[in-house]
Amino acid sequence: MAAELTADQLTAQHRPTLDQALEAIRTRAYWSPHPEHPKAYGEHGSLDAGAGKAAFDALLGTRLDLGQPGTDDWVGGEVSPYGVELGVSYPHADVDVLLPAMRAGQPAWRDAGPELRALVCVEILKRISDRTHEFAHAVMHTSGQAFMMAFQAGGPHAQDRGLEAVAYAYAEQVRTPGTAEWTKPQGKRDPLALTKEFTPVPRGIALVIGCNTFPTWNGYPGLFASLATGNAVLVKPHPRAVLPLALTVQVARQVLTEAGFDPNLVALAAERPGEGIAKTLAVRPEIRIIDYTGSTAFGDWLETHARQAQVYTEKAGVNTVVVESTGDYKGMLSNLAFSLSLYSGQMCTTPQNLLIPRGGVATDQGHKSYDDVVADLARAVDGLLGDDARANALLGAIVNPDVKARLEAAAGLGEVALASREITNPEFPEAVVRTPVIVKLDGAKPDAEAAYMSECFGPVSFAVAVDSAADALELLRRTVREKGAMTVGAYTTDPDVERSVREVCLDEAAQLSLNLTGGVYVNQTAAFSDFHGSGGNPAANSALCDGAFVANRFRVVEVRREA
């Protein structure tokens, strides 16, 4: 078929963006082509706030027909954490039909080469970016994130992570040239001379298993890394967060078609309630790559059983902040209060354990006892969330009943320093909105250890009293080693303690934020600059994004002949 989107057009439009992304991952300076501000949209073909909302509303109650082969049923049933029934239905696939259809387009996609594949991916991201307002509502009403967070994390930040993966995938594939002339001297005899051709080839079909809380942010890196390296990609969304990924698949299929490729290179695998198709799909021989974000139990299951595939997992972890001393007590408290509150602590990067010496903490406002620090932090959270409108904008909604149950149970684990409050969301009265709970625990007590050494996903933090900075560091080391961590934070003005914290993080491969007191938070990472996870502790076996995340999604085949 004649491509509506030619390689020349794509090059002219997107090669500069790709080049900037390549430069950004090299320098790791700030960069993003995707505006963060809602008002930046509405021109150059992008939807503004009203149009985005209207587009989202128009989706409700409809059947999203992606034109996929092997569609044997229609499934759906998402209910927003804000109470809205989405009523969207999606194709249910007969995978024995869909998977072969997905393979059919792979040779042409492989033969397109790394640059054209990257440019097609950038076009997909551009179209998604233009619909950021629409996606924001889709993310909000599946994850329970408040609108602004759904807009930013589910929109530009997710698009950034996708583009970052495209850049890494492109760079990795072009490290080996397409062709080489090899001439080996043989003394007085004629040299040996070979012509060599090198082709990146895909592994097969990649499976993306999406999560409930960050469907796009956590889904895009694997999706785009696999697609840009020549693989077809099957997207299996979380049953409660289908819409954002279904829209993504729809855009990808449209762009692939326009660029002259088989749309079945990207497909959706929505499921019936309780069907559990991830387990079935994960061990299909056609599936050669899996990206997964979710529970440790299922991540471990995938790593153990999906042996035919490269498996990239982000699982549970226990994130720690060491509070040893600070030169900006107020800044520390407000920074921590924000970190604990954002999206009701439902981020894999939210701090859970705050390790505070029972002898207290030296600060610019004098010595603060353990009790002082905990009470002041509780007050800081209260202050931050005192206004219901602001609280709603920060907290979002509790994503599912399990989180609510954990939150309610947490109060029984120790002395409650800050009780969780219910907040009413006037726009969405059915939303379950809760402020975080802070529970005091004695680090030396074995029964407390059972609590603070397990991930308690949601708005629950433990203020763990430790004997000393050294004790805190030992507990930090043990926590990261045994439970994993996506993030570590530390507050200290003591160079020795800082060195020691850094040493623990280097030893245990944990990403460390030091003395954050301003507008950057330990639970946020920026694409092109920060690594999300390290891939070196039990919380995740890969990082977003580095060479290791992309290098094994393709292989290089050499064809050599005498010159």
- Give the integer Cα–Cα distance in Å for 516 and 327: 11
First to last CA, the chain: 36
| Residue number with CB closer to its own copies (143 or 492) | 492
Give the max Cα distance, the chain.
88
| Beta strand pairing call for 71-76 and 89-93 | antiparallel
Residue carrying the six token digits 């090059």:
11
Nearest approach, Cβ of 25 to its own copies (angstroms)?
A: 8
| Residue number with CB closer to its own copies (395 or 490) | 490
| Residue number with CB closer to its own copies (26 or 445) | 26
| Residue number with CB closer to its own copies (269 or 480) | 480
User: Which letter does DSSP use for residue 189 in this model?
Assistant: E
Task: List C-alpha distances in Å: 404 to 8, 389, 460.
Answer: 52, 21, 10
Name the residues that contact its own copies, by CB under 8 A.
Answer: 25-30, 107, 110, 172, 175-177, 180-186, 192, 194, 196, 198-199, 201, 203, 303-304, 307, 502-503, 505-507, 509-520, 526, 529-531, 534-536, 543, 546-548, 551-552, 555-562
| Residue number with CB closer to its own copies (62 or 183) | 183
- Give the integer Cα–Cα distance in Å for 201 and 110: 6
- Give the integer Cα–Cα distance in Å for 102 and 105: 6
Nearest approach, Cβ of 183 to its own copies (angstroms)?
A: 6
Nearest approach, Cβ of 99 to its own copies (angstroms)?
A: 16
Q: Is the CB of residue 267 less than 8 Å from the CB of residue 234?
A: yes
Nearest approach, Cβ of 452 to its own copies (angstroms)?
A: 23
Radius of gyration of the chain (CA): 25
| Residue number with CB closer to its own copies (81 or 535) | 535
Nearest approach, Cβ of 520 to its own copies (angstroms)?
A: 5
Nearest approach, Cβ of 170 to its own copies (angstroms)?
A: 13
Nearest approach, Cβ of 240 to its own copies (angstroms)?
A: 31
- Give the integer Cα–Cα distance in Å for 153 and 346: 13
| 451 burial level (CB within 10 Å; 0-12, 13-18, 19+) | buried
CA–centroid distance for 420 within its chain: 27
- Give the integer Cα–Cα distance in Å for 284 and 266: 17
Q: Is 97 helix (H, G, I), strand (E, B) or coil?
A: helix
User: Which letter does DSSP use for residue 532 in this model?
Assistant: B
| Residue number with CB closer to its own copies (234 or 480) | 480
Q: Is the dihedral of CA 311, 317, 321, 322 positive or negative?
A: negative
Nearest approach, Cβ of 482 to its own copies (angstroms)?
A: 11
| Residue number with CB closer to its own copies (217 or 452) | 217
